[in-house]
Structures are given as C-alpha cells and as structure tokens.
Amino acid sequence: MTEKYGRYFIAIIPAEPWYSEALQLKKEVRDVYESKGALRSPPHITLHMPFRWTLKKTEILKKTLSEIAASLPTFQVSFDGFGSFEPKVLFIRVRPDPDLIEFQKKLVTRIRLQLNVFNADYRDLPFRPHLTIGFRDLSPKNFELAWQKFQHEKFEGNFTVQAITLLKSTDAGWVNDTNFELQEINKP
C-alpha cells in the first residue's frame, strides 16, 4: 500500500561555517553525552512545525512555498551562545531579532491562508528560535553534564538568510527536500 501523506516542516538551514560547526556540536553531544536524536535532522532553525501533506499535491505545496518565499525579503540571523529546554534539550541560541520574528509570523500566516495548513499540536507554543544540538534522548545525568559544559561556552556569529527549506520525513530522519529563494533586498 502506498502512503497518502508525507510529513514536512519548514526551516532555515544555516550558512557555512555555521552549518558545519552546528553539525560538529551535534556529533559531540552524540559521542560524549549519548544523544543522537538531534542528528535525525540537519542543523536548522524551525520556522513552521511539522505537518502532514497529501503526496499527490506536493507540487502545489512547493509552488506555493516558492511564491511565498519570493515575496519575502532576506534578513540576518544571529547566534548568541547556548540555551536549554530543561531537562532534555540543548541548543544554540538564536537572537529573536524583529526581522526574524516578523518573517516567521508572515510565513506561518500565509501558509495557513494559502495552503490551509494548521498545526493543532503546536498552536499554543510561542516561536522560540533555536538550533538543537542535544535532543530528548539525553538522560537527566548527561543533560546536566552537557549543560555544565555548554552554558558558559561562546557561540556567536550571523549570516544572511537567503532561502527557506522544506524538509521531509524519511525512514532515516528528516532530509532537505527543496530550497526556496527569498527576495533579495538591496539596502543602502
């Protein structure tokens, strides 16, 4: 029997060298603190939480996301150290700059209006931009050990977001499906 639905989410994939540095941190958390859950997806900042979509209508999804992305401007994302969602998640903090907050709000609103995609499971969660390096499979003991290390470490930098990415769930984890270019804005 063929599947009727796919699972997707929309994210920002960081530019180099931040992508490679975040991936290396995920591997360190796996190797040292026994948490491999974060490696089931590429380094990313979630903009729209996972949703189901009819596979027969995938081209409609991609066409609409391409149009939405092309109408939204590029912007900067900045990293600012490490944070946690106790007791099991470690992440690289993303500064909640107004441009990022406004971008995410516009994106989610347009996806709701144009594609009728709602996330009932995540409806009441506020947007808290972050890049996960240690996931829910961290034991309480290893979470504490990892947090003792990372809470005082520095991780700073920024990059221009030039595209958003549609990620798809597979048996191996989440994979990049399609990138959608944002509108290039020339600022004086």
Domain assignment present for residue 94? The answer is yes
Q: Where are the beta strands (DSSP E) in the chain?
A: 5-12, 45-54, 75-85, 89-94, 130-134, 156-161, 163-170, 173-181
Collect all residues with Cβ–Cβ distance below 8 Å to 143 and sequence separation of at least 6.
33, 84, 86, 87, 88, 90, 134
CA 109 from centroid of its chain's CA atoms: 17
- The pLDDT of residue 27 is 97
14: containing domain: 5-181
Is 93 inside a domain boundary? yes
**Residue 80 bridge partners (DSSP):** 156
Asked if residue 152 is part of any domain, the answer here is yes
CB 45 within 8 A of CB 163: no
Q: Is 186 domain-assigned?
A: no
168 inside domain: yes
Give the mean model confidence (pLDDT) for residues 62-89.
Answer: 94
76-80, 107-111, 120-124: least confident range: 120-124
169: in domain: yes
pLDDT higher than threshold 50 for residue 188 = no
Q: Total structural domains in the chain?
A: 1
Q: Does an H or E element contain 108, and which?
A: helix 98-115
Cα dihedral: 107, 89, 125, 111 (round 10) = 20
Answer whether residue 122 is part of any domain.
yes
Residue 188: inside a domain: no
The predicted model scores a pTM of 0.91
Give the pLDDT confidence of 129-177 residue by residue, as tens digits.
Answer: 999 999 889 999 999 999 999 999 999 999 999 999 999 999 999 999 9
Query: Which has more pLDDT, 140 or 126?
Result: 140
C-alpha–C-alpha distance, residues 156 and 79, integer Å = 5
The more confident residue out of 172 and 1 is: 172
**Residue 187 pLDDT > 60, yes or no?**
no
Q: What CATH number is associated with residue 40?
A: 3.90.1140.10
Query: Helix 18-33 and helix 140-150: axis angle, to 10°?
Result: 140
Q: Does the pLDDT at position 5 exceed 60?
A: yes
